[in-house]
Structure 1
Amino acid sequence: MNWILLIIAGLFEVGFAACLGKARLATGHSVFWWYTGFIVCLTISMLLLIKATQELPIGTAYAVWTGIGAVGTVLVGILFFKEPADFWRLFFITTLIASIIGLKAVSH
């Protein structure tokens, strides 16, 4: 269950990073809504991370949380913000995913 909470926390980390990206591009009142989304996603992400670390080792949980956030944010950037998707970027994202899976595999 804690791993599921940690994955969801990581997805909300992607949400708050995406909201920051959209807020940067927004104008008028929509900026307020993007920053509101940022605060909501940040709060949920942190609360779920706190809950997950009650049972998981902090080092492993934090590495997985940031890894999910990093991978998800890069993918959001590629898909929605038209950031480059060159070979080396995708290669290192793949190694990051393999590292996250490895941490899960060796955790008790």
Structure 2
Amino acid sequence: MAWMYLVIASFGEIFGVASINVFLKKRNFFWLLILVLCFTFGFTFLGLAMREIPLGTAYAIWTGLGATGAVIMGIFFFKESASLLRIIFLTCIITGAVGLKMIG
């Protein structure tokens, strides 16, 4: 169940980062509240996951999934660049997170 908590926590980070992007464009209290709620959601589930998964592993996987999701969301919803170099580095993040899981 801890691994499921970790995946759920990464959605808090993904949507938190996306809400930062929207907040910076709209600058209103509603999007600030959404930003805080998303990160609170993510940190809550990260804490639940860390009851069983060691800190180093949980944090690396959480940030890897969150960064990957945020980049993908940025490309599809915020029309950010999808250059080959960016995709290569995104693949490195995913490979690193998967490799860490296989070692740990």
Q: Between the two proteins, what is the percent identity of the paired residues?
A: 39
Give the TM-score taking structure 1 as reference length: 0.90
Q: Which residue of 2 aligns with 1:57?
A: 54
Q: Does 2:84 correspond to 1:87?
A: yes
* 1-structure distance, mates of 2:25, 2:76: 16
1:89-108 aligned within 5 A: 89-107=86-104
Q: Partner of 2:75 in structure 1?
A: 78
1:16 and 2:19 correspond: no
Task: Tell me the number of residue pairs that the alignment of Structure 1 and Structure 2 aligns.
Answer: 104
Which amino acid is 1:10 matched to? S
* Mapped partners of 1:105, 1:4: distance in 2: 16
* Unmatched 5+ stretches in structure 1: none
The residue that corresponds to 1:3 in the other structure is 3
Unaligned runs of 5+ in 2: none
The secondary structure found in structure 1 opposite 2:53 is coil
Cα deviations by residue, 1:3-47 (Å, 9 ceiling, x for unpaired): 1100110111011110010011115xxx22211111111111111
Partners of 1:52 and 1:102 in 2: how far apart?
Answer: 19
Q: Give the match for residue 25 of structure 1.
A: 25
Between the aligned partners of 2:57 and 2:11, the Cα distance in structure 1 is: 17
Query: Which amino acid is the alignment partner of residue 23 of structure 1?
Result: F
Query: 1:70, 1:83 → 2: CA distance?
Result: 14
> Is the partner of 1:54 in helix, strand or coil?
coil
- Matching residue's letter, 1:24: L
